[in-house]
């Protein structure tokens, strides 16, 4: 069976510090991978998605970046965090099947920037 891991679960970082969040998927190959952010309240914002190693599409301009160094590894980074980067970060994966739109989400990382 497939599983998706994210770490850390919670993180408190000062403004201006760097960030690295990691997501890995097990039990599948060549998945589509996604990073979302959910600010206080509702609504998930798609940040990045990747259809393969080294292939990253950015959905919104920001001080965050993403990388996919391996097939089942997706990393979200920042060189200098802003207060507005606080939120709940979710990684998700989806198999590459036409008309199949179920995405599987990880447990999330709660980031607080102080």
Give residues in contact with another protein (CB under 8 A): 32, 34, 36, 41-46, 49, 51, 57, 59, 88, 90, 92, 94, 96, 98-99, 101-108, 110
- For residue 30, the minimal CB distance to another protein (Å) is 13
Of residues 13 and 103, the one with the C-beta less far from another protein: 103
Q: Considering beta carbons, is residue 10 or 17 the nearer one to another protein?
A: 10
Closest distance of CB 16 from another protein, Å: 27
- DSSP code at position 20: E
**Closest separation in Å from C-beta 111 to another protein:** 13
């Amino acid at each position: 069976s497939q599983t998706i891991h994210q770490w850390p679960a919670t993180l408190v970082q000062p403004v201006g510090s760097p960030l690295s969040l990691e997501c890995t998927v097990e039990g599948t190959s060549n998945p589509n991978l996604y990073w979302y952010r959910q600010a206080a309240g509702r609504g998930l914002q798609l940040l990045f998605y990747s259809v393969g190693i080294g292939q990253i599409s950015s959905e919104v301009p920001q001080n965050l970046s993403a990388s996919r160094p391996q097939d089942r590894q997706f990393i979200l980074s920042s060189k200098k965090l802003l207060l507005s980067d606080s939120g709940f970060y979710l990684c998700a994966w989806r198999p590459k099947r036409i008309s199949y739109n179920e995405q599987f989400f990880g447990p999330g990382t709660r980031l607080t920037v102080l």
